Amino acid sequence: MVAAAAAQVGPAVTWLPPVRRTLAPRLSGRGPRGGVALTFDDGPHPQATPAVLDVLDRLGWTATFFVLGTQVRRYPGVAAAVVGAGHEIALHGDEHRYLIGRSPRAARDDLRRAYDTVAALTGQPPLWWRPPYGVLSGPALATARGLNLVPILWSAWGRDWRAAATGTSVVGDLYRGDVDGGMLLLHDSDVTSDPGAWHATVAALPLLAERLDAAGLEVRTVGEHVRR
């Protein structure tokens, strides 16, 4: 009983940034200095995702989108537009729920359904997986390995899910984390955020570009960043 519980919740400790940085820097998304991996969670969204794609196109950036299976089934055309614009699709799960609060079977079914949905509707089988809230569980990790999914979290987040967020606050919060050589987490949806919070994300991107350009940092997808 104790061993089963430990296997279920033990991996969740990597949610803590100090643990990730010390024990699993690759899980934190650490890559070579001189650039960042730019990632977005919780999409696709019918308004937010196209707005983000438009800004990324103007900036000449390619990013990675960690999508939800429920959202891909709801908005397959938007998901296809992400791939069509040359961005990388990754997996965030099917439903945005804590995995450690779900049975092993429910966690496995969630991940497999999400994988099948994304592969079928985008034509791009995902390689990278970020669990909801960044909280891992043993059964989900085992399922991910079976699907050849690589778990990856983040080293800096913009706290762009809050109603009080602004473009300036989002960039400021990103820079409280590890930026150079790190993995940046933003959201192209408000399905788990305050309504309309994604407007702050869109406003933050040009401001982030100014900071990154001044520091000489390039923007990468997860695949470009981690494989170097």
Instruction: Tell me the per-residue pLDDT of 111-148, one tens digit each, with 9 for 90 and over.
Output: 999 999 999 999 999 999 999 999 988 888 899 999 99
| Better pLDDT: 135 or 9 | 135
What would the 3-class secondary structure string for the chain be?
CHHHHHHHHHHHHHHCHHHHHHHCCCCCCCCCCCEEEEEEECCCCCCHHHHHHHHHHHHCCCCEEEEEHHHHHHCHHHHHHHHHCCCEEEEEECCCCCHHHCCHHHHHHHHHHHHHHHHHHHCCCCCEECCHHHCCCHHHHHHHHHCCCEECCCCEECCCCCCCCCHHHHHHHHCCCCCCCCEEEEECCCCCCCCCCHHHHHHHHHHHHHHHHHHCCEEECHHHHHCC
| pLDDT tens-digit map of 195-221 | 999 999 999 999 999 999 999 999 999
**pLDDT of the residue at 228:** 54
The answer to whether residue 10 sits within a structural domain is: no
Residue type, 210: E
CA distance 72 to 78: 8
Q: What is the pLDDT of residues 148-175, one digit of tens each?
A: 999 999 999 999 999 999 999 999 999 9
Task: Tally the domains of the chain.
Answer: 1
94 is a domain residue: yes
Phi, psi of 211 (to 5 degrees): -65, -45
Spatial CB neighbours of 182, under 8 Å, sequence gap ≥ 6: 28, 29, 30, 31, 36, 37, 154, 155, 156
Q: Which residue has the higher pLDDT, 13 or 87?
A: 87
Question: Looking at the domain assignment, is residue 22 inside a domain?
Answer: no
Q: What does the CA dihedral 117, 136, 83, 178 come to, rounded to 10 degrees?
A: 170
Domain annotation covers residue 123: yes
What is the pLDDT averaged over residues 181-204?
97
Question: Is residue 11 assigned to a domain?
Answer: no
Expressed as residue numbers, the domain containing 215 is 31-226
User: Considering the domain boundaries, does residue 102 fall inside one?
Assistant: yes
**pLDDT given at position 12:** 44
Residue 189: how many other CB atoms lie within 10 Å: 29
- Determine, yes or no, domain membership for 18: no
CB 39 within 8 A of CB 61: no
Burial 69-95 (b: 16+ CB within 10 A, else e): bbbbbebeebbbbbbeeebbbbbbbbe
CATH at 186: 3.20.20.370
195, 183 contact by CB (below 8 A): no
Q: Is residue 59 part of a domain?
A: yes
pLDDT for res 21: 52
Residue 15 has pLDDT above 80, yes or no: no
